[in-house]
Structure 1
Amino acid sequence: MIPFNKPHLTGKETHYMYDAVSTGKISGNGKYTKMCQDFFEKRYGFKKCLLTTSCTDALEMAALLINIEPGDEVIMPSYTFVSTSNAFVLRGATIIFADSAPDNPNLDASKIEALITPKTKAIVPVHYAGTACDMDQIMALADKYNLFVVEDAAQAIDSFYTGKDGVKRALGSIGHLAAFSFHETKNIISGEGGMLAINDLQFANRAEIIWEKGTNRSSFFRGEVDKYGWVDMGSSFLPSEIISAFLWAQLEELDTIQAKRKHIWEQYYTQLESWARAHAVQLPHVPNYATNNAHMFYLVCKDLDQRTALIEKLKANEIWCVFHYLSLHKSPFYADKHYGAALDYSDHYSDCLIRLPLFYDLEDEQIQKITHCMTT
């Protein structure tokens, strides 16, 4: 069977993991952690980066940093992974779910302002499939209403947004804070793993404290204080050097990995374009202000029946394809807490979106098998 995902190894992961062990320090914040963090800061212009054990942890750090408290409201799409919401629910926030856009699963920025109240504290845009949300609109609203913006950039490594000012910015570098994932399903992986990107330096020092279990341990090891202790809330968010060493091997090959994934994405698009048009199937839409990082190739079927039939046909031909999120506003946990508005596009993507296999080692012959199965 052609799997939906297959983790790609560059060949140097175990070498760097062995090197990390040989240094005598395999707990967090060692050589490889710092190398990875420096890489992201220099390549993408993030002010400060902190590796975490997951994107979920990075989001939870963000919720702590912006002081989310019971009664605060946080606006985010309903069509997202549960971690986006959980990070803020854990701090007592009320989640105000926004609908997706008609032409792609990102939240519809034009619908956000109507959801803002005096209790609103943050907007959390999710860059679905690595495609940028309309960040000009979102940041303008944040400025107008004095709100924080936390970018959920779990899928958005090496993807960019070009604003009305003509400046091209990396996703995750625009909001006050951003969270990335290096889960094995992502473009660049470490098995489990994530990163908090800090773009507003007012959060930099406290982020490091929260990252180190609420202590000023990092300052101590830099010689800035003569002892360290408990100075704030925090948890054990930093990954081991083993995870960071694995990630470093991936980052060395980022351009090669991205080029191959984009080749696969383009093959899908070219081979399915005519079929999709004939069968009322929507191919991925990348707005003019966004770039495509080839994180995912998805289709939006015309209805649930069409999607179900397509999944079953592909599975019968030993091709594993999957749908994606279920609208969080209808989830068993949050349905009775939702403010009540219908979110029709979110539900449409829940019922109709299907993801095709996309991983580095997927070969052209396999792509052709998949598209041939779909179009015949």
Structure 2
Amino acid sequence: MESIIPFNKPYLTGKETHYIYDAVNSGKISGNGKYTQKCQQFFEERYNFKKVLLTTSCTDALEMAAILANIQPGDEVIIPSFTFVSTAIAFIRQGATIIFADSYSDNPNIDADKIEELITDKTKAIVPVHYAGVACDMDKIMYLATKYNLLVIEDAAQAIDSFYIGKDGVKKALGSIGHLAAFSFHETKNIISGEGGMLVINDSRFSSRAEIIWEKGTNRAEFFRGEVNKYGWVDTGSSFLPSEIIAAFLWAQIENLELIQNKRKMLHNCYYDNLQSSNLITLPSLPPYATNNGHMFYVVTENSEIRSELISKLKEKGYHAVFHYISLHSSAYYSDKHDGRVLSNSDKFTECLLRLPLFYELNEVDVVDMAKCINNY
């Protein structure tokens, strides 16, 4: 039976084309116009980000971060193996050696207690990935960064509107804690612009250079603010900034952030409540220092065979459930470069993690039906 309920369906608020029309008719559709600046100001004010630059993707934001971190050939960068390839490739392109860390046994996030043993005199940065919008243990990670003089670059692709609660009880937005952070607005994320992302700069020493890298290695942004009387090529960079069309689409989503978040979190909780009685699967665990942003709902099966059978059973009922990342340390591209350590938890999530449909227009009836299908398996 062909799937009736897809894994994901992009949600349109209704204002996207209106704002795109406005951008087009303004005569300014290249980057860094009215809508770009509105979006950037919103994120800076709402989440206490020091400086925000919209990008054409989260991958671009990570690549900018790798340039800003001055990653050189031979430098080592610590990242979780259970993540998307962009987390690694942004640093590999700068010549880095990737040192893969394992996940927790009950959580796909990087095991913060296993990071210190991976640090050497070649280590330059730690890149925690907030999987499913659930915070990594940022107090431990920032402690290590201070102790060893390392940079922390948060891969917050899935983590918009999610928070970390520190040991001091202070609640901080994910992406506001590390020196740099990268977010995604891909169509599978909570708020979207088709493709799109943003770089967050929390360390002021990177602010000026970030703008230059963003603008193809020129000081064009300073010129348009009247800070210099002409602009030219002053550094490396690329065309990282998105057009006003992308930013206008994103602005319509931002205006509906609360509505979108409330619905997604309700659906997440509905899944959780209806799957608690199942002894066939393990439900996501939420550490006491993390919040849930309703980005994703996943379960972990006992083995890959059960996962495959559940995918088939759900498909028969008209629901499209999917697996997720293949551990990067075992990938065709990097397996011969990995140092050979066994990362058993990352491998477990590769084999056993199952993602269930979660998008704004999904209804509770379907969530309950999918849960029933799993419970009755």
User: Which of residues 192, 209, 219 is equivalent to 1:206?
Assistant: 209
Distance in 2 (alpha carbons) for counterparts of 1:357 and 1:313: 14
Question: Which digits, 9 at most, give the CA deviation of each residue in 1:256-296, with x for residues without a partner?
Answer: 00000011001100011101xx22x1101110000000100
Distance in 2 (alpha carbons) for counterparts of 1:9 and 1:267: 23
Q: Which shows bigger deviation, 303-312 or 104-113?
A: 303-312
Say if 2:308 is the partner of 1:305: no
Aligned 1:326-345 pairs, distance under 5 A: 326-345=326-345
Shift of 1:167: 0.9
Distance in 1 (alpha carbons) for counterparts of 2:340 and 2:177: 31
3-state SS, counterpart of residue 295 of structure 1: coil
Distance in 2 (alpha carbons) for counterparts of 1:47 and 1:186: 23
Question: Which digits, 9 at most, give the CA deviation of each residue in 1:197-245, with x for residues without a partner?
Answer: 0000100000000000000000000000000000000000000000000
Distance in 2 (alpha carbons) for counterparts of 1:102 and 1:283: 12
Shift of 1:372: 2.0
Shift of 1:103: 1.1
Q: Which blocks of at least 5 consecutive residues in structure 1 are unaligned?
A: none
TM score, norm. by length of structure 2: 0.98
Say if 2:64 is the partner of 1:61: yes
TM score, norm. by length of structure 1: 0.99
Structure 1: which 4+ aligned runs deviate by more than 2 Å? none
Say if 2:264 is the partner of 1:261: yes
User: Which of residues 48, 53, 61 is equivalent to 1:50?
Assistant: 53
Q: Tell me the equivalent position of 1:118.
A: 121
Distance in 2 (alpha carbons) for counterparts of 1:371 and 1:111: 35
Question: Which digits, 9 at most, give the CA deviation of each residue in 1:100-137, with x for residues without a partner?
Answer: 00110001000000000000000000000000000000
Aligned 1:187-266 pairs, distance under 5 A: 187-266=190-269
3-state SS, counterpart of residue 337 of structure 1: coil
Distance in 1 (alpha carbons) for counterparts of 2:364 and 2:127: 37
User: Contact (CA 8 Å) 2:277, 2:375: kept in 1 or not?
Assistant: no
Distance in 2 (alpha carbons) for counterparts of 1:43 and 1:334: 39
Shift of 1:370: 1.3
Question: Which digits, 9 at most, give the CA deviation of each residue in 1:272-323, with x for residues without a partner?
Answer: 1101xx22x1101110000000100000111111111111111111110000
What is the letter of the counterpart of residue 197 of structure 1?
A: V
User: Which of residues 97, 105, 113 is equivalent to 1:94?
Assistant: 97
User: Which of residues 11, 14, 18 is equivalent to 1:11?
Assistant: 14
Q: What is the number of equivalent residue pairs in this alignment? A: 373
Question: Which digits, 9 at most, give the CA deviation of each residue in 1:317-351, with x for residues without a partner?
Answer: 11100000000000000000001100000000000
Q: Tell me the equivalent position of 1:351.
A: 351
Q: Tell me the equivalent position of 1:287.
A: 287
Distance in 1 (alpha carbons) for counterparts of 2:302 and 2:141: 29
Question: Which digits, 9 at most, give the CA deviation of each residue in 1:117-169, with x for residues without a partner?
Answer: 00000000000000000000000000000000000000000000011111110
Shift of 1:368: 2.0
User: Contact (CA 8 Å) 2:54, 2:196: kept in 1 or not?
Assistant: yes
Distance in 1 (alpha carbons) for counterparts of 2:300 and 2:369: 20
User: Which of residues 134, 159, 162 is equivalent to 1:159?
Assistant: 162
Distance in 1 (alpha carbons) for counterparts of 2:374 and 2:76: 43
What is the letter of the counterpart of residue 308 of structure 1?
A: S
Distance in 2 (alpha carbons) for counterparts of 1:107 and 1:340: 18
Question: Which digits, 9 at most, give the CA deviation of each residue in 1:64-102, with x for residues without a partner?
Answer: 001000000000000000000000000000000000001
Say if 2:138 is the partner of 1:135: yes
Say if 2:375 is the partner of 1:375: yes
What is the letter of the counterpart of residue 344 of structure 2?
A: D
Distance in 1 (alpha carbons) for counterparts of 2:318 and 2:168: 48
The alignment-based identity, stated in percent, is 70
Distance in 2 (alpha carbons) for counterparts of 1:9 and 1:258: 14
Distance in 2 (alpha carbons) for counterparts of 1:227 and 1:346: 51
3-state SS, counterpart of residue 17 of structure 1: helix
Distance in 1 (alpha carbons) for counterparts of 2:170 and 2:266: 26
Distance in 2 (alpha carbons) for counterparts of 1:90 and 1:197: 20
Distance in 1 (alpha carbons) for counterparts of 2:126 and 2:317: 42
What is the letter of the counterpart of residue 157 of structure 2?
A: A
Shift of 1:7: 0.2
